[in-house]
C-alpha cells in the first residue's frame, strides 16, 4: 500500500500512470486481501485495498450520523474523508480515517455491511474513482476489490478473480476475527457474508463479477502459498523485484 492516499494528484498525469497493474477481485473471505498483500510484497509493487476505502467512508459517514441510504450526502462525505494507510508492505497496514486509527473497527463485519450499503451508490463510487487510480505508481500496483479489473483498471495486463465456497470463506473470516479477539457466531457470519455477496453481485453499478479476461481461481482447499504462486506466475520475471 502506498504510505498515504494522495488526494489532489491528477491520476491522468501522475507519474507511473502507465505502471503495470495486477487486479485481484472476488467476494469477501476469498483470501484476496492476504494473497494481494503477499503478491505485492513479492513483486515489490504497491498495494491498494479498495475495500478499506469503502469501509472507511462507511465509518466516516456513520461518525457524521449521515443516513447511509442518502447517496449524495455519503458521496460528499467520501470526497472530504481523509484516509491514510501506514504499513511497511508486510502484515496489515494501519488505516487512519480523518486522523483516527480505525484499523480495528474497519475489520468488523458491521463495517463491511456499511461499506456494501454505500458502495451501491453510483455517486459514492465516482467520488472514489480518481483516488483509487492514483495508487497506480511505479514499479507497479496490486489492486484488490470487486471492480478493479472491470471498472477501475479495465486495461490492467494481469487480472485474477479469486473465489472460494461460502462455507470456506465464512470459516476463514471467523478464524481471522477470532485471531483479532473478536468473537462472532459462525452461522450469523455465514449469513451476513452471503447477504453481502448477494448485494455486491446484484447491484446495478460495478457489480461483483469476473472481468472477461481474468484468470478464475477457486481457492477452496488450497493453501494461501499455493494461490500466491499461481498468481505470481502471471507476471513475467522481467517485471518482478530483482
Ligand atoms: O473487500 P472488503 O470486504 O473490505 O469490501 C467491503 C465492501 O466494500 C464490499 O462488500 C463491497 O460492497 C465494497 N467494495 C466495492 N468495490 C470495491 C471494494 C469493496 O464495492 N472495489
Residue 148 has pLDDT above 50, yes or no: yes
Backbone angles phi, psi at 196, to 5 degrees: -65, -45
pLDDT digits (tens, 9 = 90+) for 192-232: 889 988 999 999 999 999 999 999 999 999 999 999 999 99
- Whether residue 122 contacts residue 74, with contact meaning beta carbons closer than 8 Å, is answered with no
Q: Is residue 2 part of a domain?
A: no
Residue 147 in contact with ligand 1 by CB distance below 6 A: yes
Q: Is residue 60 part of a domain?
A: yes
Q: Is residue 154 part of a domain?
A: yes
What is the residue range of 97's domain?
A: 21-239
Least confident of 24-38, 53-67, 92-106, 169-183: 169-183
Q: Is residue 16 part of a domain?
A: no
For residue 216, the CA-to-ligand 1 centroid distance in Å is 19
Cross-strand pairs, 25: 145, 161
The total of other beta-carbon atoms located within 10 Å of residue 165's CB is 14
The pTM (predicted TM-score) of the whole model is 0.90
- CATH number of the domain encompassing residue 231: 3.40.50.300
The atom of ligand 1 lying closest to the CA of 147 is 21
Could you tell me what percentage of the chain is helix, strand and coil, using 3-state DSSP and rounding each to the nearest 5?
A: 45, 15, 40
Tell me the three cell numbers of residue 18: 502507465
Q: Which residue from 33, 60, 146, 173 has its CB within 8 A of the most atoms of ligand 1, so it is best to mutate?
A: 146
Closest CA to 143 of 237, 97, 123, 154: 154
Residue 149 is predicted with a pLDDT of 97
Residue 16 is predicted with a pLDDT of 56
- The C-alpha R_g of the chain, in whole angstroms, comes to 17
Residue 110 has pLDDT above 50, yes or no: yes
Distance of alpha carbon 148 from alpha carbon 80, whole angstroms = 22
User: Per-residue pLDDT averaged across 156-172, rounded?
Assistant: 94
Residue 46 has pLDDT above 80, yes or no: yes
The atom of ligand 1 lying closest to the CA of 152 is 21
Q: Is residue 74 part of a domain?
A: yes
Residue 13 is predicted with a pLDDT of 46
Residue 17 has pLDDT above 80, yes or no: no
Q: Which residue has the higher pLDDT, 5 or 40?
A: 40
Residue 2 has pLDDT above 70, yes or no: no
Q: Is residue 194 part of a domain?
A: yes
Peptide bond into 232 cis (omega under 30): no
Total domain count for the chain? 1
For residue 55, the CA-to-ligand 1 centroid distance in Å is 7
Average model confidence (pLDDT) across the chain: 90
Amino acid at each position: 500500500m502506498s504510505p498515504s492516499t494522495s488526494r489532489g494528484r491528477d491520476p491522468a498525469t501522475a507519474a507511473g500512470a502507465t505502471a503495470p497493474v495486477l487486479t485481484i477481485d472476488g467476494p469477501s473471505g476469498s483470501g484476496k486481501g492476504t494473497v494481494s498483500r503477499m503478491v505485492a510484497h513479492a513483486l515489490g509493487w504497491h498495494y491498494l485495498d479498495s475495500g478499506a476505502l469503502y469501509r472507511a467512508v462507511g465509518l466516516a459517514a456513520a461518525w457524521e450520523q449521515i443516513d447511509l441510504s442518502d447517496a449524495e450526502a455519503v458521496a460528499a462525505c467520501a470526497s472530504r474523508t481523509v484516509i491514510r494507510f501506514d504499513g511497511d508492505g508486510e502484515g496489515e497496514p494501519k488505516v487512519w480515517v480523518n486522523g483516527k486509527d480505525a484499523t480495528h473497527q474497519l475489520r468488523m463485519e458491521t463495517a463491511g455491511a456499511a461499506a456494501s450499503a454505500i458502495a451501491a451508490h453510483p455517486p459514492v463510487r465516482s467520488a472514489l474513482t480518481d483516488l483509487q487510480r492514483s495508487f497506480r505508481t511505479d514499479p507497479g500496483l496490486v489492486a484488490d476489490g470487486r471492480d478493479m479489473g472491470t471498472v477501475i483498471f479495465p486495461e490492467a495486463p494481469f487480472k485474477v478473480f479469486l473465489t472460494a465456497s461460502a462455507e470456506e470463506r465464512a470459516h476463514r473470516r471467523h478464524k481471522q476475527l477470532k485471531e483479532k479477539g473478536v468473537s462472532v457466531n459462525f452461522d450469523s457470519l455465514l449469513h451476513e457474508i452471503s447477504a453481502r455477496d448477494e448485494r455486491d453481485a446484484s447491484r446495478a453499478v460495478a457489480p461483483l463479477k469476473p472481468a472477461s479476461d481474468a484468470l478464475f481461481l477457486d481457492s477452496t482447499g488450497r493453501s494461501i502459498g499455493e494461490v500466491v504462486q499461481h498468481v505470481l506466475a502471471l507476471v513475467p520475471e522481467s517485471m518482478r523485484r530483482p
